[in-house]
């Protein structure tokens, strides 16, 4: 029996889908690509924007077209927040929210891997937590250490889809990290919805987890995928600067460079705090790569406010941006707020900030030319004008290439950053 999975959205979803795939493989099933004909399709969905939801619907239609007789299970955030809409789509048999999706292999096994009688829909409030990590890459994995969020920012539907913040204990998380180390994985990316709140329900702190993970033999690198600026303490920054394995690469959501808009977004910091965090990072790690999330066209962002936000971004030591036009989400507080921005204006501002991101990226790369950084080399060979090459990431997240050498796969070596070694002169966004 064959099963195909299709994952949309964040690294968290990829970690959870890999957990499902391992369970299906342990049950003797064969995993195939989502563009292939399969007996079962599992679509792990995203609801962060309207575009993400459109992609989810298209993935469902594609699965049904490939095999109208297949079992189609739709799980995850979009399934959690709009189960009725998904259940009405032709061919959908199972809809599971985030509390039950990790149980899908057991549910199908109980029914003999045939469709349960009648359509199954279960979108109970997410309360459970399942540690998981992504597979399929011998050098790097995404490790889910936290789920849910208590912040309820006015634009965000994720707390409704993922529930309240929760995690495993440090002891259980470290135990799974040791399992990851045993697979030979060299780099681990710590993922979550609001990663910095790890451990709070257990009376533990995120920095304590980092300290314990740093001691695990076999894992040579860690990255923190994203952390809120109000939770990125000086203690965490200083620990990363002097740790054995944590890398000088930070992803710190900003969302707006205007205090007025940040208040309307119900963010828990202001621009002064954000700038202070980046200043501290650069003081102790001048070579660090720093990424920022920015939403354009949120309520209250008039021309003057956008100009202020862009000017703030320009003066920050940011290496690149993730830019998103604001997308209205059901049940969020922003829907009742005034001062809406027209969609064409949102898109135009998004393009403007993408250009700023390109300039920031090139400035950061230029600052690193001539330096020698450690690179983790990946196993996939590439063919281009240079012949057969291999690629890898520096510790501060610049993608480099060199002639392919099989003995270097999975190794970490020092390598000079030069224009000829940079892949398309571009830092691939995570």
pLDDT score of 428: 45
Examine the domain organization and report whether 180 and 225 are in the same domain. Answer: yes
Mean pLDDT value of segment 387-402: 94
25 and 134 co-located in one domain: no
- Reading the block at residue 375, the tokens are 């690179």
Could you tell me the residue range of the domain that residue 191 belongs to?
129-251
In a domain, 407, yes or no: yes
Residues 51 and 17 grouped into a single domain: yes
Q: Is the pLDDT of residue 426 over 90?
A: no
Q: In this model, does residue 230 exceed pLDDT 50?
A: yes
List the structure tokens of 87: 């259940």
Overall average pLDDT of the 168-181 stretch: 97
74 located within any domain = yes
How far apart (Å, rounded) are the C-alpha atoms in residues 85 and 427?
38
pLDDT band per the 50, 70, 90 thresholds, residue 112? confident
Structural domain count, the chain: 3
Residue with more model confidence, 381 or 396? 396
For the segment 283-314, what is each residue's pLDDT rounded down to a tens digit? 999 999 999 999 999 999 999 999 999 999 99
386 pLDDT higher than 70: no
Spatial contact of 320 and 427, defined as CB atoms under 8 Å apart: yes
129 half-sphere exposure, CB direction, 13 A CA radius: 21
**Which region, left, alpha or beta, applies to residue 113 given φ > 0 means left and ψ of -120 to 50 means alpha?**
left
CATH number of domain containing 39: 3.40.50.12160
Same domain (yes/no): 106, 211: no
Distance CA 103, CA 124 (A): 13
Give the residue from 90, 107, 122 where a domain finishes: 122
The overall average pLDDT reported for the chain is: 94
Ramachandran sector of residue 31 (left: φ over 0; alpha: ψ -120 to 50; beta: rest) = beta
87 and 149 inside one domain: no
Nearest-angstrom CA–CA distance, 78 and 89: 13
**Do 253 and 293 form a contact (C-beta atoms < 8 A)?**
yes
Structure tokens at 315: 């003066």
Higher pLDDT, 119 or 222: 222
Domain identity same for 135 and 247: yes
pLDDT of 93 over the 50 cut: yes
Position 44 in a domain: yes
Looking at the fold, whether 144 and 247 belong to one and the same domain comes out as: yes
- Report yes or no on 324 lying in a domain: no
Tokens of 353: 């900030």
d(CA 28, CA 322): 40
Among candidate residues 74, 97, 122, the one where a domain is terminated: 122
Q: What is the pLDDT of residue 319?
A: 98
- Give the pLDDT confidence score for residue 312 in this predicted structure: 98
Residues 245 and 144 in one domain: yes
Q: Find the DSSP H helices in 294-427.
A: 303-315, 343-368
349-366, pLDDT tens digit by residue? Answer: 999 999 999 999 999 999
User: What's the confidence (pLDDT) of residue 385?
Assistant: 64
User: Rounded to an integer, what distance in angstroms lies between the CA atom of residue 140 and that of residue 189?
Assistant: 8
pLDDT band at 429 (very low <50, low <70, confident <90, very high): very low
Q: Which residues contact 65 (CB under 8 A, 6 or more apart)?
A: none
Model confidence pLDDT, tens digit, residues 306-340: 999 999 999 999 999 999 999 999 999 999 999 99
Q: So what's the pLDDT on residue 425?
A: 55
Is residue 337 in some structural domain?
no
**Do the domain assignments include residue 114?**
yes
Same domain? 11 vs 112? yes
Distance from first CA to last CA of the chain, Å, rounded? 33
Q: Are residues 10 and 91 in the same domain?
A: yes
At residue 430, the pLDDT reads 42
Cα–Cα distance measured from residue 396 to residue 248, given in angstroms and rounded to the nearest whole number: 5
Domain finish residue from 68, 102, 122: 122
Residues 158 and 219 in one domain: yes
Residues 13 and 84 occupy one common structural domain = yes
| Residue 141 located in a structural domain | yes
Report if residue 339 sits inside a domain: no
Residue 383: predicted pLDDT:
79
């Amino acid at each position: 029996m064959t099963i195909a999975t299709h994952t949309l959205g964040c690294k968290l979803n990829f970690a959870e889908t890999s957990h499902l795939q391992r369970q299906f493989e342990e049950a003797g099933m064969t995993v195939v690509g989502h563009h292939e004909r399969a007996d079962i399709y599992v679509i792990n969905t995203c609801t962060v924007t309207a575009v993400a939801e459109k992609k989810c619907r298209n993935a469902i239609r594609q699965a049904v077209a490939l095999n109208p007789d297949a079992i189609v299970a739709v799980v995850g955030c979009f399934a959690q927040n709009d189960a009725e809409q998904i259940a009405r789509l032709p061919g959908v048999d199972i809809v599971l929210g985030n509390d039950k999706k990790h149980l899908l292999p057991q549910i199908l096994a109980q029914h003999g891997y045939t469709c349960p009688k009648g359509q199954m829909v279960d979108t109970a409030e997410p309360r459970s937590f399942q540690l998981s990590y992504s597979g399929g890459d011998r050098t790097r994995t995404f490790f889910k250490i936290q789920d849910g969020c208590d912040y309820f920012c006015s634009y965000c539907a994720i707390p409704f889809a993922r529930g309240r913040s929760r995690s495993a204990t440090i002891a259980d998380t470290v135990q799974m990290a040791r399992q990851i180390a045993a697979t030979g994985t060299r780099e681990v990316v710590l993922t979550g919805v609001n990663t910095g709140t790890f451990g709070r329900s257990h009376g533990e702190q995120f920095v304590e987890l980092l300290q314990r993970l740093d001691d695990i033999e076999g894992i040579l690198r860690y990255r923190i995928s994203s952390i809120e600026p109000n939770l990125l303490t000086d203690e965490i920054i200083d620990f990363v600067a002097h740790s054995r394995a944590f890398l000088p690469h930070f992803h710190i959501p900003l969302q707006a460079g205007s205090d007025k808009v940040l208040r309307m977004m119900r963010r828990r910091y202001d621009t002064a705090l954000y700038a202070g965090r980046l200043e501290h990072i650069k003081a102790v790690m001048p070579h660090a790569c720093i990424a920022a999330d920015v939403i354009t066209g949120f309520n209250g962002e008039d021309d003057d406010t956008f100009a202020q936000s862009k000017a703030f971004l320009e003066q920050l030591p940011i290496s690149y941006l993730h830019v998103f036009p604001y997308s209205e989400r059901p049940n969020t507080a922003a829907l009742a707020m005034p001062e809406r921005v027209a969609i064409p204006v949102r898109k135009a501002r998004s393009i403007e900030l993408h250009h700023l991101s390109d300039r920031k990226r090139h400035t950061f790369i230029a600052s690193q030319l001539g330096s020698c950084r450690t690179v983790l080399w990946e196993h996939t060979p590439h063919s281009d004008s240079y012949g057969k090459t291999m690629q890898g990431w520096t510790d501060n997240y610049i993608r480099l290439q060199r002639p392919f050498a099989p003995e270097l796969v999975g190794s970490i070596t020092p390598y000079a950053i030069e224009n000829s070694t940079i892949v398309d002169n571009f830092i691939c966004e995570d």
